[in-house]
Chains A and B, each alone.
Chain A
Amino acid sequence: MRPAEGAASVVVVPVQYALHKAVEGLGNLLRVPYDLRYLRAENQRLQMQVDELIYQLALRNEIELENIALRELLDLKERSPDILGPDADLLTAEVIGHDPSSLLRYVTIDRGSRDGVQVGMPVITARGLVGQVREVRTNSAKVVLLTDPSSEVNALIQRSRATGIVQGQTGPNLVLRYLPQTEGIAQPGDLVLTSGLGGHFPRRLLIGEIIEVKRSDVDMFQEARLRPAVDLDGLEMVFVVRHFTPIGVDEQADGEGASAGGS
């Protein structure tokens, strides 16, 4: 019987295989409508999952960026007694608008008189000085940025200790004016800080870095162009300095509290 079974299997097995494949194919064909419906539902479910994950990822990135910004601000808050005096009082604010005009450089923040913000208070970030509060409403305030033409800050060059006045000039850069004509007093790469003179701003806040020096023998003063330390076009969160110790005011005299803006 064995040889006969072997011979039969030679014929039967391919037929059986072919039948099996045909039935399987037919089964698959019959399952197509169901599979289509299932695939559509599955596709929809996966698409929703992808959307959700993209959203979660964007949210996570945003939280990470916010975390970095808040860490910088927290770090500044911890360092603030060294820079702003022992009674330093910083208020976190979010930038909610930029000035629509290209000639003026203002931002609107989400803190106003309700939060104790007053005209003249300095506005800073962890990287340096941003500007000064110019107008206050109940829930918001307008901050004039360093780059606005009406902005003036008493400043000093860190390396040479030469003092001058930093002014805005509409464009993205600043100009440091009224520097003495002494050669080498200002060089590209020098850092410029607030001098604190006048009491309007805390001292030792970073304003920017010198990128170009203009010196002429016929002028009484030399001037330098600065790049602001803070990216003023990309501001998101800032600190309003509600209270700081102005330069030259000792703590005893300051008992009643020196108001921000030196007023």
Chain B
Amino acid sequence: MPHLTVAGVQPDLALAAVVCWALCRGAADGAVGGLLAGLVLDLLSGAPFGVHTFTMTLVGAAAGLAAALVPREHAMLLPGMAVFCTILQQAACVSLLRAAGWPLGWTQPVVVVVIIAAVLNLLLTIILYPWVGRLGRALPQGESGW
């Protein structure tokens, strides 16, 4: 979403969709959704292949687990998970990219990027949730139930 860029940071549609999907469907479906979204992102990104697949699967599973622990009606579940998952995804990304030789660290520009990304993803998740929720309810639920 390069046209919605704020200070060089763009909202992450894939992450917002995976968080919404995981909150509606649980950890197993969330992880599968994250895996698929991550594979697509890896094809488009300049990062080493697998970085986005791993981080998005992690995000899907984490959001799904949170939905199992916290009542879905809780007002802070959606915004809290949007912010938490953004930080989790960016932290995992920074760690993996560092391991792959990228000169990335928790410097001021990276922290600023993470904060702006968290705010943008929070807004996008709130907008997206009703649509993804409708889709999640329309499709049959899996057996695992967690």
Interface set of A (CB-CB < 8 Å, partner B): 97-104, 106, 108, 134-135, 142, 144, 147-150, 167, 169-173, 233
Contacts A100-B45, A169-B109, A170-B110 given; does A150 touch B12 at CB 8 Å? no
A74 to B96, CA, bound (A): 42
A106 to B10, CA, bound (A): 13
* Contact (Cβ within 8 A) A171 B102: no
Sampled A-B contacts (26; CB under 8 Å): A98-B2, A98-B10, A99-B44, A100-B12, A100-B41, A100-B44, A102-B8, A102-B12, A102-B116, A103-B93, A103-B94, A103-B104, A103-B110, A106-B45, A108-B44, A142-B46, A149-B102, A149-B103, A149-B104, A150-B102, A169-B109, A170-B113, A171-B7, A171-B8, A233-B5, A233-B8
How does the 8 Å CB contact mask read for B118-144 relative to A, with 1 for contact and 0 for none?
000000000000000000000000000
Minimum CB–CB distance from B103 to chain A (whole Å) comes to 5
A100 to B10, CA, bound (A): 8
A46 to B52, CA, bound (A): 51
* Contact (Cβ within 8 A) B46 A99: yes
> Which of A100, A104, A142 has most B Cβ within 10 Å?
A100
Minimum CB–CB distance from B32 to chain A (whole Å) comes to 19
Q: Does B117 contact A (CB under 8 A)?
A: yes
Chain B residues within an 8 Å CB radius of A148: 46
* Contact (Cβ within 8 A) B9 A102: yes
Closest to A148 in B: B46
> Which of A103, A135, A171 has most B Cβ within 10 Å?
A103
Closest to A144 in B: B46
A144 to B103, CA, bound (A): 14
A103 to B104, CA, bound (A): 9
Give residues 97-117 of B contacting A (CB, 8 Å).
Answer: 97, 101-104, 107, 109-110, 112-113, 116-117
Contacts A149-B103, A169-B107, A169-B109 given; does A233 touch B2 at CB 8 Å? yes
* Contact (Cβ within 8 A) B45 A101: yes
Give residues 1-43 of B contacting A (CB, 8 Å).
Answer: 2, 5, 7-10, 12, 14, 41
A135 to B47, CA, bound (A): 11
A135 to B41, CA, bound (A): 16
* Contact (Cβ within 8 A) A103 B46: no
Select which of B45, B90, B94 is within 8 A of A99 by beta carbon.
B45
Select which of A108, A134, A144, A172 is within 8 A of B7 by beta carbon.
A172
Chain B residues within an 8 Å CB radius of A169: 107, 109
